[in-house]
Each structure stands twice: as C-alpha cells, then as structure tokens.
C-alpha cells in the first residue's frame, strides 16, 4: 500500500516521467489492479513512443490480461526500438511462449541470456520453452540455473518443482514446493502444484 502511495506521488510530481509510470505500474500490479497498470503504461507509451522499456512493460501487462496478440505486437515494437535491451527480448520470449511458438520464444530468451547471463528470467523462459517443446531434461537444467541465480524467488522454485515432478522425482519436487511456500506464503503456485503431486 505504501509503495502505491509513493508511486502515485512520484507520477504526480513527474507526470512526464516514463520511469515513474513504470514504477506505478508495478505498484498497481502488486495491488492486483492490472487494468489500471496497463492504462498507465499505455499513456506513458503515447508520451514516450521511443521508450523501449515502457513498451516492454506494457507488453507484460497485456500478456497478464490475456491479450496475447497485442502483447506480441507491443513486444515486437519494443525489440525494434532496442534489440540489445534484455528486457525487450524477455518480453518477446514470453509473448511467443504464450502463443506456443516455442522456437521463437527460445530464440528470444537465448538472445536475452547472451545480453545478460546473470538474469534468471530468460533462463526461466528458456526452460519453459524447452519443456513445452518436449525437451524436459534440457528445460529442467535451465530452471535449475534460474534458481541458482535467484534462490529466493518462490516462483522459480515452483517451476523447478514442477519439472522435477514431471521427471517423477517426487522428493525433490516436494522440497522445492516447500521452499517456495516458505519464501512466499501468499503465492498459490506451489500449493497448486503440490496438490497435484499428492493426487498422483
């Protein structure tokens, strides 16, 4: 709540700042106000049409709202503006992944990794793309790398647990879900995946 107050104040003081609008969008997202976050970014993109990071963030929000076609178009615009910005490639990768275009997703994530190999997000995306394409072991390896880069990220651990579950490595899966719950008790993802594990 305080972040949202501060972010709104930041936009009020600097209404022409793309960075302030991006910050506000994250605060709104954390408060589950995704549509308002998207609207803030749409306005920022109108004000700053050459800001690739703002476009990439807008594409993320469009993806969250299920507008895959528009998210892909926006992500492509962001990449066209700054192809060597890792965030634009990551967003393009997740947009492609949402449309089950695994090869295009993998290519974008691989480029993002080449730009910044220490960022766990493209490793997560590449892992998911490889698993979706039927390459479970290679995908799981990328998820392990993502967790190694950010061991305190609950969502990364949930996806790694899911990969272990798919490999029928039950104890490892259960451990990852437990760690994810401890890291973020409010995230439903590990609870959901662990419930599936317990049914099998």
Q: What is the pLDDT of residues 13-37, one digit of tens each?
A: 999 999 999 999 999 999 999 999 9
- Is the pLDDT reported for residue 143 higher than 90? yes
pLDDT of residue 130: 97
Q: What is the pLDDT of residues 99-117, one digit of tens each?
A: 999 999 999 999 999 999 9
**Percent of the chain whose predicted confidence (pLDDT) is above 90:** 97
Q: What is the mean pLDDT of the chain?
A: 96
Indicate the pLDDT class of residue 191, thresholds 50, 70 and 90.
Answer: very high
pLDDT of residue 1: 86
- Is the pLDDT reported for residue 188 higher than 90? yes
- Is the pLDDT reported for residue 200 higher than 90? no
pLDDT of residue 169: 96
pLDDT of residue 44: 96
DSSP string, the chain: -HHHHHHHHHHHH-TT-HHHHHHHHHHHHHTT-HHHHHHHHHHHHHH-TT-HHHHHHHHHHHHHTT-HHHHHHHHHHHHHH-TT-HHHHHHHHHHHHHTT-HHHHHHHHHHHHHH-TT-HHHHHHHHHHHHHTT-HHHHHHHHHHHHHH-TT-HHHHHHHHHHHHHTT-HHHHHHHHHHHHHH-TT-SHHHHHHHHHHH-
- Is the pLDDT reported for residue 177 higher than 90? yes
Q: What is the pLDDT of residues 30-88, one digit of tens each?
A: 999 999 999 999 999 999 999 999 999 999 999 999 999 999 999 999 999 999 999 99
Give the residue among 150, 165, 172 at the shortest CA–CA distance from 195: 165
pLDDT of residue 61: 97
- Is the pLDDT reported for residue 179 higher than 90? yes
pLDDT of residue 189: 95
Average pLDDT on 148-175 reads 97
């Amino acid at each position: 709540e305080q972040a949202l107050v501060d972010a709104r104040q930041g936009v009020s003081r600097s209404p022409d700042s793309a960075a302030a609008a991006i910050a506000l969008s994250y605060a709104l997202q954390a408060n589950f106000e995704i549509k308002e976050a998207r609207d803030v970014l749409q306005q920022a993109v109108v004000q700053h049409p050459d800001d690739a990071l703002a476009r990439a963030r807008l594409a993320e929000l469009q993806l969250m709202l299920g507008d895959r076609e528009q998210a892909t178009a926006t992500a492509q615009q962001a990449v066209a503006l700054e192809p060597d910005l890792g965030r634009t490639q990551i967003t393009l990768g997740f947009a492609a992944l949402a449309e089950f275009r695994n090869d295009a997703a993998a290519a974008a994530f691989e480029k993002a990794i080449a730009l910044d190999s220490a960022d766990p997000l493209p490793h997560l995306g590449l892992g998911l793309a490889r698993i979706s394409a039927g390459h479970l072991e290679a995908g799981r390896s990328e998820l392990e790398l993502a967790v190694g880069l950010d061991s305190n990220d609950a969502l990364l651990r949930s996806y790694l647990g899911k990969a272990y579950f798919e490999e029928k490595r039950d104890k490892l899966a259960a451990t990852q879900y437990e760690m994810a719950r401890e890291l973020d008790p409010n995230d439903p993802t590990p609870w959901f995946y662990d419930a599936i594990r317990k049914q099998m």
